[in-house]
């Protein structure tokens, strides 16, 4: 019986959380994670499951030699982060991102994509 | 029920109002997320609640009895790296002749400190002290003991994200584990005339994260449901190691294959419980759990540590 009352109380709390936010997971990317694209993309688009805080979210793209190939500061709107890319020769590129969702939860990750191989 | 309801509401209200500082989250270590496991514990302090965990199994008795367990666990960070959890388990055992025994086991608490959280290595280490408090359950029914048990425990979690490109398919794997030494506060049970052994309580989980596969290795464009799954195998074992005079030093435990579905605010887990030997049970049992991420559901209140959180703006993220 104690568990039941405990459970009911907890569920009341849970249902009150109508406007909660959460960790921002990477929902999808373009170019896709781990994909090979025939032509060089002009920008990288990262879409997240939550809205982002622009001032505290960033991304970088490096080639196989570790040189930056992104155009710097990304543009962020709601849960989408975009960054322009330099002309990319065929090769493998690594994307590293860190984002802060609007409720101050941080998440990070990295992945690669390939151009023309 | 009405006797306890005001207390439960008061507790719930206190929890909702008490924490006002700013901090981070459940078990994220770099790009790795360790889900809450059902039979063992994950390697992080957290603001979480298992509500409920339900299991069914057949005991090792001959003939075996049916056992239901329903438990609730609440974990709360006191500071960024120190947390406390409290759990209560209700058990019902039905003998083959229909005789029912039911009641609460002893109240369990755990005091845990986050020793390591290495983002680049996806490594987490947690030190804890688990205490089962004697005389807090149904001692008359035999489901709870009159003595307490203290279990210093070490927990760990390690992701395989550092594997080379040629083994990138294996990067979503992660291993978690725990090792504890259980010490009863009494050495002899006079009601049953048996020695109360000191025991090694240990377990592990091997898990494969589909969310990690999708976001870190390759997006296979699977249906979204599958991208939230973490197939898992858990192993939980107990071995008497001291003060076990006259009894066999038999290891008991279960192997639990199953799967956890991970969402933004909660996860749902379901596992089979396969006894490792005859002394561990009869036939295959099952365990299920609904687990709530309080830090995501209530990021500005319950989901933050009580003390030591920063009220300042979050730091600029750098690589």
For A30-45, how does the pLDDT look when each residue is reduced to its tens digit (9 = 90+)? 999 999 999 999 999 9
Contact (CB<8Å) B317/A8: no
| Residue B104 half-sphere exposure toward CB, CA atoms < 13 A | 18
Longest dimension (CA), chain B: 66
Residue of B301, B304, B317 for testing the chain A interface, max A β-carbons within 10 Å = B317
Query: From CA B29, how far away is CA B315, in angstroms rounded?
Result: 17
Number of domains in chain A: 1
CB B244, CB B274: distance < 8 Å: no
Dump pLDDT digits (tens) for B221-235: 999 999 999 999 999
pLDDT at B133: 97
Contact (CB<8Å) B317/A99: yes
DSSP helix/strand/coil, B90: strand
Q: Is B113 part of any domain?
A: yes
The distance of Cα B185 from the centroid of its chain, to the nearest Å, equals 23
Nearest to B182 by CA among B208, B170, B200: B200
Strand stretches in chain B, DSSP E: 28-29, 32-33, 48-58, 66-77, 82-94, 100-104, 107-118, 123-133, 149-159, 173-184, 188-189, 194-195, 198-208, 229-242, 252-262, 266-275, 285-293
Instruction: For chain A, say whether B230 makes contact (Cβ under 8 Å).
Output: no
Q: Is B309 part of any domain?
A: no
If residue B63 lies in a helix (H) or strand (E), which one and from where to where?
none
Nearest chain B Cα distance for residue A102, angstroms = 10
Contact (CB<8Å) A10/B51: yes
Q: Is B317 part of any domain?
A: no
Q: Is A13 part of any domain?
A: no
Give the Cα-Cα-Cα angle A103, A108, A112 (nearest 5 degrees).
Answer: 145
Domain that holds residue A51: 21-115
Nearest to A110 by CA among B231, B261, B228, B171: B171
pLDDT bucket at B141, cuts 50 / 70 / 90: confident
Q: Is B214 part of any domain?
A: yes
Dump pLDDT digits (tens) for B207-261: 999 999 999 999 999 999 999 999 999 999 999 999 888 788 999 999 999 999 9
Q: What burial class does residue A80 get, using C-beta atoms within 10 Å of its C-beta: 0-12 exposed, 13-18 middle, 19+ buried?
A: middle
Nearest chain B Cα distance for residue A111, angstroms = 5
pLDDT bucket at B4, cuts 50 / 70 / 90: very low
Residue of B2, B9, B26, B31 for testing the chain A interface, max A β-carbons within 10 Å = B31
- With 80 as the cut, is the pLDDT of residue B47 above it? yes
Q: Give the rounded percent of residues in chain B with a pLDDT score beyond 70.
A: 89
Query: From CA B268, how far away is CA A2, in angstroms rounded?
Result: 23
Nearest CA in chain A to B10: A9
Number of domains in chain B: 1
Instruction: For chain A, say whether B223 makes contact (Cβ under 8 Å).
Output: no
Q: How many CB pairs under 8 A join A and B?
A: 138
The enclosing domain of B83 has a CATH number of 2.40.160.40
pLDDT at B62: 87
Q: Is A7 part of any domain?
A: no
ipTM of the shown complex: 0.83
The enclosing domain of A51 has a CATH number of 2.60.40.1220
Nearest CA in chain B to A28: B215
Nearest to B287 by CA among B67, B95, B87: B67
Q: Is A58 part of any domain?
A: yes
Query: From CA B35, how far away is CA B290, in angstroms rounded?
Result: 12
Instruction: For chain A, say whether B202 makes contact (Cβ under 8 Å).
Output: no
- With 50 as the cut, is the pLDDT of residue A14 above it? no
Q: Is A39 part of any domain?
A: yes
pLDDT at B40: 94
Query: From CA B237, how far away is CA B204, in angstroms rounded?
Result: 9
Domain that holds residue B285: 5-297
Residue B229 has a CB neighbour count (10 Å cut-off) of 17
Nearest CA in chain B to A99: B317
Q: Is A45 part of any domain?
A: yes
**Looking at residues A6-25, what average pLDDT do you find?**
55
pLDDT bucket at A109, cuts 50 / 70 / 90: very high
DSSP helix/strand/coil, B215: helix
């Amino acid at each position: 019986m104690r568990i039941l009352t405990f459970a009911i109380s907890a569920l009341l709390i849970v249902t009150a959380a109508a406007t909660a936010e959460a960790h921002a997971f990477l929902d999808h990317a373009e170019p896709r994670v781990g994909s090979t694209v025939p032509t060089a993309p002009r920008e990288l688009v990262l879409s997240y499951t939550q809205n982002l805080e622009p001032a505290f979210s960033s991304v970088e793209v490096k080639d196989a030699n570790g040189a930056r190939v992104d155009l710097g500061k990304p543009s962020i709107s709601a849960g989408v982060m975009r960054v322009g890319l330099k002309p990319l020769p065929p090769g493998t590129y690594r994307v590293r991102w860190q984002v802060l969702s609007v409720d101050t939860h941080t998440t990070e990750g990295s992945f690669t994509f390939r151009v023309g191989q | 029920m009405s006797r306890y309801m005001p207390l439960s509401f008061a507790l719930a209200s206190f929890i909702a109002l008490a924490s006002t500082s700013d901090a981070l989250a459940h078990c994220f270590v770099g790009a790795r997320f360790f889900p809450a496991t059902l039979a063992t514990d994950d390697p992080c302090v957290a603001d979480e609640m298992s509500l409920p965990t339900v299991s069914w199994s057949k005991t090792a008795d001959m003939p075996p009895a049916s056992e239901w367990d329903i438990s609730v666990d609440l974990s709360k960070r006191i500071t960024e790296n120190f947390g406390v959890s409290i759990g209560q388990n209700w058990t019902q055992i039905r003998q083959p002749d229909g005789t029912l025994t039911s009641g609460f086991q002893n109240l369990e608490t755990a005091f845990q400190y986050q020793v390591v959280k290495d983002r680049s290595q996806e490594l987490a280490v947690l030190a804890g002290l688990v205490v089962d408090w004697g005389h807090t359950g149904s001692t008359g029914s035999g489901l709870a003991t009159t003595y307490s048990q203290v279990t210093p425990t070490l927990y760990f979690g390690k992701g395989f994200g550092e594997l080379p490109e040629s083994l990138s398919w294996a990067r979503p794997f992660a291993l978690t584990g725990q090792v504890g030494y259980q010490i009863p506060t009494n050495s002899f049970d006079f009601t049953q005339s048996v020695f109360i052994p000191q025991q090694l309580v240990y377990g592990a989980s091997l898990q494969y994260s589909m969310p990690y596969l999708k976001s870190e290795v390759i997006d296979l464009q699977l249906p979204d449901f599958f991208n939230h799954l973490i197939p898992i195998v858990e192993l939980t074992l107990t071995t008497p190691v001291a003060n076990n005079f006259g009894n066999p030093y038999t290891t008991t435990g279960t192997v639990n294959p199953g799967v956890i579905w991970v969402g933004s605010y909660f996860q749902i887990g379901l596992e089979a419980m396969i006894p490792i030997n005859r002394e561990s049970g009869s036939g295959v049992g099952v365990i299920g759990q609904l687990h709530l991420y309080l830090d995501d559901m209530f990021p500005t209140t319950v989901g933050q540590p009580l003390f030591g959180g920063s009220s300042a703006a979050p730091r600029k993220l750098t690589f």
